[in-house]
């Protein structure tokens, strides 16, 4: 945990590099493990390889938040298959637990919104695990609301949220 009297360096937001796929995957697993009682289930996925593919996708974005020279957060988004062109889906958004409540998530979210505005997006959507109350509270503070067009199905483990991207 960060000491209350420590001065924090600013957060730098930039595009992820293919060489960072393993570090991005490590942060992803560490952050997601926090809302599973027994840690992130081993589903056999090769997360570094999947992140390398995501980073290299020409139709998507992966942003990194860097503080003190270390990866502190990641966000991945693109237009989902079959969605209107002005819609973007936030597929992954994770902050390293050591950086929670330090402004990293807010800075990363602001950068996402700025990119969505630059790309002409008007609506953002995401799904969040029902047990991830920390993320749900964060998204609510940023202005995300339950998606009326996508209510959760019975026995679904995700909530679907929507965000109106402010016009410039």
pLDDT at 5 over 50: no
Residue 5 placed within a domain? no
Domain total in the chain: 1
Let me know if residue 87 belongs to a domain: yes
Q: Does 126 map to a domain?
A: yes
Largest CA distance in the chain: 48
- 143 three-class SS: coil
What pTM value is reported for the model? 0.90
Q: Mean pLDDT throughout 61-71?
A: 96
Give mean pLDDT, residues 142-165.
92
- Do the domain assignments include residue 3? no
* 7 inside domain: no
Per-residue pLDDT at 70 exceeds 60: yes
The answer to the question of residue 1 being in a domain is: no
Residue 4 maps to a domain: no
Separation of alpha carbons 118 and 42, rounded Å: 37
Residue 2: the pLDDT is: 43
Tell me the residue range of the domain where 75 lies. 12-164
Binned at pLDDT 50, 70 and 90, residue 38 comes out as: confident
Q: How many CB atoms lie within 10 A of CB 115?
A: 18
Q: For residues 135 and 34, what is the distance between their CA atoms, to the nearest angstrom? A: 11
Mean of pLDDT values over 71-81: 96
Taking the C-alpha atoms of residue 115 and residue 90, their distance in angstroms, rounded to an integer, is 12
Q: Determine the pLDDT at residue 17.
A: 95
- What whole-number distance in Å separates Cα of residue 53 and Cα of residue 91? 14
The CATH number covering residue 120 comes to 3.40.630.30
**Within a domain: residue 2?**
no
Long-range Cβ contacts of 1-10 (<8 Å, 24+ apart): 1/98, 2/98, 2/99, 2/102, 8/67, 8/102, 8/103, 9/67, 9/68, 10/67
pLDDT in tens, 92-151: 999 999 999 999 999 999 999 999 999 999 999 999 988 889 999 999 999 999 999 888
């Amino acid at each position: 945990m960060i000491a209350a009297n420590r001065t924090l360096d600013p957060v730098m937001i930039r595009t992820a590099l293919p060489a960072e796929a393993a570090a991005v995957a490590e942060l992803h697993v560490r952050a997601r493990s926090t809302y599973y009682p027994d840690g992130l289930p081993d589903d056999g996925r090769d997360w570094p390889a999947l992140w390398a593919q995501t980073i290299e996708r020409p139709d998507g974005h992966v942003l990194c938040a860097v503080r003190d020279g270390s990866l502190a957060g990641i966000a991945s988004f693109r237009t989902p298959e079959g969605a209107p062109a002005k819609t973007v889906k936030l597929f992954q958004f994770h902050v390293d637990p050591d950086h929670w409540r330090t402004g990293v998530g807010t800075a990363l979210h602001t950068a996402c919104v700025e990119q969505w505005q630059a790309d002409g997006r008007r609506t953002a959507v995401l799904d969040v695990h029902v047990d991830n109350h920390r993320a749900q509270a964060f998204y609510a503070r940023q202005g995300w609301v339950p998606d009326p067009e996508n209510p959760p199905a019975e026995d679904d483990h995700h909530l679907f949220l929507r965000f109106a991207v402010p016009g410039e």
